[in-house]
Chain A
Amino acid sequence: MKADVEPRPVAGRSSVAPGDVLLSLEHVSLSFGGVKALRDVSFDIRKGEIRAIIGPNGAGKTSMLNVINGFYHPQEGVITFKGKRRHDMRPYLAASQGIARTFQNVALFKGMSTLDNIMTGRTLKMRRGILSHMLHWGPAQREEIRHREAVERIIDFLEIAHIRKVPVGKLPYGLQKRVELGRALAMEPELLLLDEPMAGMNLEEKQDMSRFILTVKDTFDTTIALIEHDMGVVMDLSDRVVVLDYGRKIADGSPAAVQGDQAVIDAYLGVAH
């Protein structure tokens, strides 16, 4: 059992300069049994940009994020994050290195309130051990209040103060997605992976979410990789786009360039092979 120990190293901001490569994937291949989810995919994400990953259904976009996160382990390829080359990631390592994520089907902790959900995002930054917590009054309480303040700032930013004590299972889908974003932001990540953050939202909600994403990039100094189907959102928000189809990368560049690329158009419209 942990007693009060020296503070663990916290995920701090790395020495990667804006514009430099933050994450790069080289020749990554992933298969499940006979199914090849990713084939020889290589691209990079630069610090401070919004990188969109698009492609038809089943292209391997979520698998890509799962590889970056450490949920899936690719059979081939190298992942380089903040300068360290690895063959695969582990979830805990990804989290402690500063990668946070939201999920396609919201993966919130349904038994807890909004506030508690977002507070779980602060776990890595909390250092007080079991004995402190048992006592509560004193160091543990002070630490709790400090993190509560940080979380309340995020809650204010995302405009979810009115539902902070509501169990998230009771919230409508759009608000759940916002809470999930809040939970990811609470980790103060360097790289934020968003899996279809706009899915199931109406125009107003999409505008709100877009606003949040842009503010996160600018104010919170976070690099963002996002999977999205709404082309309008992709064009407006992203700096660069990578397109996957059947597990392969078929285009990589600015939104305008990708939009005009024949291979991309073929993939989306479906062309007889």
Chain B
Amino acid sequence: MLYREAGQFKSSYAADMAIFPIRQDRVALLLLLAFAYVGVPLLAQFKIWPFGSDYLLRAILIPFLILALGTIGLNILMGYCGQISLGAGAFMAIGAYGAYKFTNGVHLPLAWLGSEISIPPLPVLPSILLGGLMSALVGILFGMPSLRIKGLYLAVATLAAQFFFDWVFIRVKWFTNYTPSGSVTAPELKIFGLTFNTPSERYLFCLVFVSLFALMTKNLVRGNLGRQWMAIRDMDIAAELMGIRPLYAKLSAFAISSFVVGVAGALWAFVYLGAWEPLAFNIDRSFQLLFMVIIGGLGSILGSFLGAAFILILPIMLDQVPHALGIPVTVETVSLLVLIITGALICYLLIVEPLGFARLWSIGKEKLRLWPYPY
């Protein structure tokens, strides 16, 4: 009753193809965006609960947005194109270190060519995008084997990327500008003359990035390229018969996915961490993104947000809820519980609903449309 689409007839294909064909969905989205763009900063400004302190913004909303972006990127590769990747952390690292180098100026002596590449320090925004571009180029490189190698074997290739780049960013001091500790600091976030310093400002910065990228990804995915990716995922031999070139489809998926993940990595380093070392992007990060994709739902933009929210909030809840109830729980127990619950949830979802929370959400909406009738 709440949620009928009765009476909403589409009189053009354009209307039928819209991202949110049902009016209630559009309204809900506008409200959400209004709250996100206007409501949250206002509440934070006047320190109204739950934005009384910086905590919600700094420790939850900002990492949520950035990780959701990374999940969207990984989803492009895994959910839409069906290529498994266990190396997302490495691509985040490439984006982060790439952006770092570009903001500090790139000086690459090419002794064997007798010349050098020298780029002056670039402002923050182009550097982040260029970091993403570097990630895309590496993504294409590691995507090339995907023509001969499929499934699990490809997963191993992506693990190779993960371990290799872990090593590169520790050992090759050029990337960290020869700092003795191996950790680097992000520059000030200055875009078009505006500085983004306070948690509120950083939050808005991330929100704009995430909104734009989510929209761009959704557009790609519902168009011809998205269909090509899904065709390759479902049956790549038959796809070739339609005139879909597997090479182009797979490499474009690797490139765009790595670009988005790279940008997420740059944002993670610049906006959330501020200062970081290579460990921030190790295999744990890869698995974190993997779980967000699986739990949220493969092949769903909404799912990327749901999965990111869940994985991020789970340890916090496991920590706060027993405390609120007066039961003492050690940090270690919490981290072990997180392992158990995440693993169990993945098994459960794979059995019951392989398309994750996103599918559960849309099933819930369908039930809402019929409520109070059962079918």
Chain A interface residues toward B at CB < 8 A: 1, 69, 71, 91-92, 94-96, 100-101, 103, 107-112, 116, 119-124, 126, 128, 130, 133-136, 140-141, 144-145, 148-149, 152, 183, 187
- A111–B229 Cα distance when bound, in Å, is 11
Q: Which residues of B contact A121 (CB under 8 A)?
A: 242
Q: Which residues of A contact B223 (CB under 8 A)?
A: 133, 136, 140, 144
- A91–B244 Cα distance when bound, in Å, is 9
Q: Which residues of B contact A112 (CB under 8 A)?
A: 227, 230-231, 234
Contact of B14 with A by CB under 8 A: yes
Contact of A123 among B12, B216, B237, B243 (CB under 8 A): B243
- A3–B52 Cα distance when bound, in Å, is 47
Q: Which residues of A contact B239 (CB under 8 A)?
A: 109, 120
The 7 A-B residue pairs whose C-beta atoms are closest, nearest first, are A124-B243, A109-B234, A95-B243, A136-B219, A107-B238, A91-B240, A133-B223
Contact of B282 with A by CB under 8 A: no
Q: Is the CB of B227 within 8 A of A120?
A: yes
- A111–B299 Cα distance when bound, in Å, is 10
Most interface-central of A94, A100, A120 (chain B CB within 10 A): A120
Instruction: Write the nearest CB–CB distance from B161 to chain A, whole angstroms.
Output: 20
- The contact sample of 21 A-B pairs, CB cut-off 8 A, is A1-B252, A69-B241, A92-B243, A94-B241, A95-B241, A101-B241, A103-B238, A107-B238, A108-B238, A110-B235, A111-B233, A112-B231, A120-B231, A120-B242, A121-B242, A130-B220, A133-B223, A133-B224, A145-B13, A148-B17, A187-B242
Q: Which residues of B contact A111 (CB under 8 A)?
A: 230, 233-234, 299
Contact of A134 among B219, B235, B237, B241 (CB under 8 A): B219
Q: Is the CB of A134 within 8 A of B230?
A: no
Q: Which residues of B contact A120 (CB under 8 A)?
A: 227-228, 231, 239, 242, 244
Instruction: Write the nearest CB–CB distance from A123 to chain B, whole angstroms.
Output: 5
The digit string for B196-228, where 1 denotes a CB below 8 A from any CB of A, is 000000000000000000001001101111011
Instruction: Write the nearest CB–CB distance from A225 to chain B, whole angstroms.
Output: 15
CB-CB under 8 A for A187 and B243, given A103-B238, A109-B235, A149-B13? yes
Q: Which residues of B contact A126 (CB under 8 A)?
A: 224
Q: Is the CB of B231 within 8 A of A109?
A: yes
Contact of B255 with A by CB under 8 A: yes
Q: Which residues of B contact A124 (CB under 8 A)?
A: 242-243
Instruction: Write the nearest CB–CB distance from B263 to chain A, whole angstroms.
Output: 14
Q: Is the CB of B233 within 8 A of A1?
A: no
Q: Is the CB of B220 within 8 A of A133?
A: yes
Q: Which residue of B lies closest to A94 (CB)?
A: B241
Q: Which residue of B lies closest to A101 (CB)?
A: B241
CB-CB under 8 A for A133 and B244, given A103-B238, A109-B239, A120-B239? no
Contact of B245 with A by CB under 8 A: yes
Q: Which residues of A contact B228 (CB under 8 A)?
A: 120, 123
- A110–B236 Cα distance when bound, in Å, is 12
Q: How many residues of B contact A (CB 8 A)?
A: 31
Q: Is the CB of A134 within 8 A of B220?
A: yes
CB-CB under 8 A for A141 and B14, given A120-B244, A133-B223? yes
Q: Which residues of B contact A128 (CB under 8 A)?
A: 224
CB-CB under 8 A for A109 and B17, given A92-B245, A95-B242, A133-B220? no
Instruction: Write the nearest CB–CB distance from B120 to chain A, whole angstroms.
Output: 26
Instruction: Write the nearest CB–CB distance from B75 to chain A, whole angstroms.
Output: 14
Q: Which residues of A contact B237 (CB under 8 A)?
A: 71, 107
Q: Is the CB of A123 within 8 A of B234?
A: no
Beyond A123-B224, A133-B224, A144-B224: 5 further Cβ-contacts under 8 Å? A92-B243, A108-B234, A112-B234, A133-B223, A148-B13
Q: Which residue of A lies closest to B217 (CB)?
A: A134
Q: Which residue of B lies closest to A126 (CB)?
A: B224
The digit string for B260-300, where 1 denotes a CB below 8 A from any CB of A, is 00000000000000000000000000000000000000010
- A185–B200 Cα distance when bound, in Å, is 54
- A133–B217 Cα distance when bound, in Å, is 9
Q: Which residue of A lies closest to B223 (CB)?
A: A133
Q: Which residues of B contact A96 (CB under 8 A)?
A: 243
Q: Which residues of B contact A71 (CB under 8 A)?
A: 237
Q: Is the CB of A1 within 8 A of B224?
A: no
Interface residues of B in 1-55 (CB under 8 A from A): 12-14, 17
Q: Is the CB of B235 within 8 A of A107?
A: yes
Instruction: Write the nearest CB–CB distance from B269 to chain A, whole angstroms.
Output: 25
Q: Which residues of A contact B17 (CB under 8 A)?
A: 141, 144-145, 148
- A71–B14 Cα distance when bound, in Å, is 37
Q: Is the CB of B244 within 8 A of A123?
A: yes
Q: Which residue of B lies closest to A121 (CB)?
A: B242
Q: Which residue of B lies closest to A1 (CB)?
A: B255
Contact of A116 among B220, B227, B235 (CB under 8 A): B227
Q: Which residues of A contact B235 (CB under 8 A)?
A: 107-110
- A144–B252 Cα distance when bound, in Å, is 20
CB-CB under 8 A for A110 and B234, given A92-B240, A120-B242, A130-B252? yes
Q: Which residues of A contact B241 (CB under 8 A)?
A: 69, 91, 94-95, 100-101
- A128–B219 Cα distance when bound, in Å, is 13
Q: Is the CB of B219 within 8 A of A133?
A: yes
Q: Which residues of A contact B220 (CB under 8 A)?
A: 130, 133-134
Q: Which residue of A lies closest to B251 (CB)?
A: A1
Q: Which residues of B contact A136 (CB under 8 A)?
A: 219, 222-223
Q: Which residues of B contact A122 (CB under 8 A)?
A: 224
Q: Is the CB of A123 within 8 A of B219?
A: no
- A152–B244 Cα distance when bound, in Å, is 21
Instruction: Write the nearest CB–CB distance from A147 to chain B, whole angstroms.
Output: 8
Instruction: Write the nearest CB–CB distance from A40 to chain B, whole angstroms.
Output: 27
Q: Which residues of A contact B252 (CB under 8 A)?
A: 1, 130
Q: Which residue of A lies closest to B298 (CB)?
A: A111
Q: Is the CB of B242 within 8 A of A183?
A: yes
Q: Is the CB of A135 within 8 A of B219?
A: yes
Instruction: Write the nearest CB–CB distance from A178 to chain B, whole angstroms.
Output: 16
